[in-house]
Structure 1
Amino acid sequence: MPATARMRSTRVLSAALLLLSPALAAAQQCDSSVLSETPPAVNFRVDNDLLGGEKQDQGYTNGAMLTLVSPNLADYTDDPCLPGLARWLNRYLERLQPGGFEQQNMVFSIGQALYTPTDYTRTDLILDDRPYAAILMARFGYNARNGDDLRTTQLQLGVVGPMALGRQVQNAAHHVFEGEDFRGWDNQLENEPLVGVVHERMRRWGDAGRNAGGWGWDAIAHWGGALGNRATYLNTGLEARWGWRLPDDFGSTPLRPAGENTAPSRGRRSGWSWHMFATTDVRAVARDITLDGNTFRDSHSVDRRPLVGEVGYGMALTRGRWKFALARYHGAREFEGQEERPVFGSFTISRML
């Protein structure tokens, strides 16, 4: 690995440890019974179109997200299981926090997403393909559960444009894996702050939580939407799971706001468990900054399609404190003239603390 790549990897690791330190310190203040039933967790997810197996390097070409998940909370402002900074912040975000539920937790994540056109060799503006865009975003999520019902709300704050460091991250990754540099990053969207709110509700049916020692299935419906200059849409969909000792949570799809080990669960299991899952999502989209371009200034854009969706499938494996999930997604064309339907893969590794 080149020295510059090693330096970037070291910085990323140092930043991750810096984020984890307050969460680990807060976890030590939690009641032992809370930790035994719903321990905090850390998840790391990587999305890449090359993982989709279609040799694509376009569209949503790469993403990475680090997520910290709290244990079950008595409340969002005074519970010692949360770091002091999170409790202070939550006092100003009370309208986003649901109340009167059996279980609730908080999720914090930080991630980056990169979007590129098909032809990486061109340095000019490619008018009939999507803009170059990089997004760097932090998310504060609030989950609340009653039995087989869940609601989740996320506040999203971030930036699109050169400040999101898309060119640097993509070139560093391609140098490590001996790929070609994308040459059109000078045409990327301009810097713009991003603010948005995402809200979803979920309902689950089936065996999860009742098949601790055997085979089972469940189905999780979701519906909701997003409002903001990053994206504005309404969506709905369904996830189905089948396997050995299904987790008592609300889905294994890593892209869902409350998916992949982030929603409140019940009980902590030892030994092996595994399951397969399939998911669908349909969105009526009013805005997508990666296709519509900058909000407050002129920029490159394409003719976005108002109705899009995707199907996905994968497998999740759990052993003790560790969980691994691998998924593949096939999407509809997102804009007029798009040559290929999006295909990408996602890998998530999670650990209970």
Structure 2
Amino acid sequence: MRQRLVPLGLLGLLSVLGAPAAASTATYCPDDSLRAHPPQVNFRVDNDLFGGKAQDQGYSNGAQLTLVSPNLLDYTDDPCLPKPARWINRHLEQLHAGRFDQQNMLFSLAQRIYTPKDSARQDLIEQDRPYAGVLIGSFGYNARRDNHLQTTQLTLGVVGPWAQGKQVQGAVHDLLGGDRFQGWDNQLHNEPVLMLTHERMQRWPADDSHRATGWGWDAISHYGGALGNLSTRANAGAELRVGWKLPDDFGSTPLRPAGENTAPTRGGRTAGWSWHAFMTANAAWVVRDITLDGNTWRNSHRVDKRHAVALGGYGLAVMKDRWKFALARYHSTREFDGQRQPPVFGSFTISRAL
């Protein structure tokens, strides 16, 4: 079988962010695997200004870069993964799924910024949420059988000044001509964060042969949870999609694991234009959220979190050959007692198969 040389500038990041050895090496991967299931990169931006006027509050801004491997034979010996990824995966075998039809791996790097509503106050606003910056990296393992998918992600990072939330938000506001938030001296303290996330999804109906060639619809149910000092929760929900040439994936909602163009596929890319509209809903029981509960081992600002939280969203996804664009708007119930407005924010995602 012919072999194709795959640059590791992206695939190396699936295992080690910025590893010098990975950046200077290359991995040989079967050409047929790359042609049908190429690696891809996704970039997402969330911002509450997309939600409407005077919405610069709560989950203020987020950005995430996700790198996705081709479909893999396994996580420890597949030639489509660089050696650093295979070495790390041998030490994380407890997170791997059992035997499935398709499986792949992803790595993401994300920053999230949370602020209260009043940007001018320099004092601690006790009745509003804490200032918080979060900087995290995640390893993800996706495994698929027919119309079922399970995904497991391990997230490591930091909350506090080390996350550079103040600097990034200030630079963006300077660029756009907006006022800087003045209360960042009250942000949460530096704290390492860890979270293990697991979700399971299913697509309906079972026969999806017509959806790839014309008009169609599908629904994706999901349930799962997370455990860690960053967030501990259980959740469940669903997504409904209607459109032309629906993709063979598990949703267009970028806020959830495997929800945006990262799941293994069973066929090649769809040629030409395709598009679909989507609606999504998610309900969660939140045990812990560090951005609301404050630091775990140190005294810090906190608010009275609401345990039951629901999120609804709607959007549009457009695909052309290697490219996919998705625009969404989300509405959440209030997250803590005394919150003035239910959060509203938007999200834009751009994806490209390599």
> Could you say which TM-score interval applies, normalised by the shorter chain?
over 0.9
Matches within 5 A, 1:38-187: 38-187=37-186
Q: 2:271 corresponds to which letter in structure 1?
A: S
Deviation at residue 208 of structure 1 after TM alignment: 4.3
- 1:106-128 Cα shifts (integer Å, max 9, x gaps): 01000000000000000000000
- Residue 212 of structure 2 contacts residue 248 of structure 2 at CA under 8 Å; is this kept in 1? no
SS in structure 2 at match of 1:89: helix
- Residue 136 of structure 2 contacts residue 157 of structure 2 at CA under 8 Å; is this kept in 1? yes
Alpha carbon RMSD of aligned pairs, Å?
A: 1.8
- C-alpha distance in structure 1 between counterparts of 2:352 and 2:40, whole Å: 6
Q: 2:311 corresponds to which letter in structure 1?
A: E
SS in structure 2 at match of 1:235: strand
- Residue 42 of structure 1 contacts residue 68 of structure 1 at CA under 8 Å; is this kept in 2? yes
Q: 1:166 corresponds to which letter in structure 2?
A: G
- Provide the residue aligned with 1:4 in structure 2: none
Q: 2:227 corresponds to which letter in structure 1?
A: L
- 1:164-185 Cα shifts (integer Å, max 9, x gaps): 0000000000011001100000
SS in structure 1 at match of 2:86: helix
- C-alpha distance in structure 1 between counterparts of 2:150 and 2:215, whole Å: 27
Q: 1:282 corresponds to which letter in structure 2?
A: A
- 1:289-344 Cα shifts (integer Å, max 9, x gaps): 00000000111000000100110000100001111000000000000000000000
- Provide the residue aligned with 1:336 in structure 2: 337
Q: 2:295 corresponds to which letter in structure 1?
A: N
SS in structure 1 at match of 2:29: coil
Q: 2:309 corresponds to which letter in structure 1?
A: V
Task: Kindly tell me the number of residue pairs found equivalent between the two proteins.
Answer: 337
Q: 1:127 corresponds to which letter in structure 2?
A: E
SS in structure 1 at match of 2:169: helix
SS in structure 2 at match of 1:174: helix
- Provide the residue aligned with 1:297 in structure 2: 298
- Residue 160 of structure 2 contacts residue 188 of structure 2 at CA under 8 Å; is this kept in 1? yes
Query: Percent identity at matched positions?
Result: 64
- C-alpha distance in structure 2 between counterparts of 1:105 and 1:128, whole Å: 44
Structure 1 unaligned residues grouped into runs of 5+: 1-14
Q: Given the superposition, is the C-alpha separation of residues 70 and 288 from structure 1 closer, same or farther in structure 2, using an over 3 Å criterion?
A: same
Structure 2 unaligned residues grouped into runs of 5+: 1-12
- C-alpha distance in structure 2 between counterparts of 1:135 and 1:311, whole Å: 23
SS in structure 2 at match of 1:35: helix
Deviation at residue 266 of structure 1 after TM alignment: 2.1
Q: 1:326 corresponds to which letter in structure 2?
A: L
- Provide the residue aligned with 1:306 in structure 2: 307
- C-alpha distance in structure 2 between counterparts of 1:315 and 1:148, whole Å: 22
Deviation at residue 25 of structure 1 after TM alignment: 6.3
- 1:131-174 Cα shifts (integer Å, max 9, x gaps): 00000000000000000000000000000000000000000000
- C-alpha distance in structure 1 between counterparts of 2:262 and 2:308, whole Å: 28
- C-alpha distance in structure 2 between counterparts of 1:23 and 1:99, whole Å: 30
- C-alpha distance in structure 2 between counterparts of 1:24 and 1:345, whole Å: 38
- Provide the residue aligned with 1:200 in structure 2: 199
Q: Given the superposition, is the C-alpha separation of residues 273 and 228 from structure 1 closer, same or farther in structure 2, using an over 3 Å criterion?
A: same
- C-alpha distance in structure 2 between counterparts of 1:154 and 1:333, whole Å: 27
Please report the TM-score for the alignment, with normalisation by the length of structure 2: 0.92
- Residue 145 of structure 1 contacts residue 151 of structure 1 at CA under 8 Å; is this kept in 2? yes
Please report the TM-score for the alignment, with normalisation by the length of structure 1: 0.92
Deviation at residue 19 of structure 1 after TM alignment: 5.4
Q: Given the superposition, is the C-alpha separation of residues 121 and 209 from structure 1 closer, same or farther in structure 2, using an over 3 Å criterion?
A: farther
SS in structure 1 at match of 2:182: coil
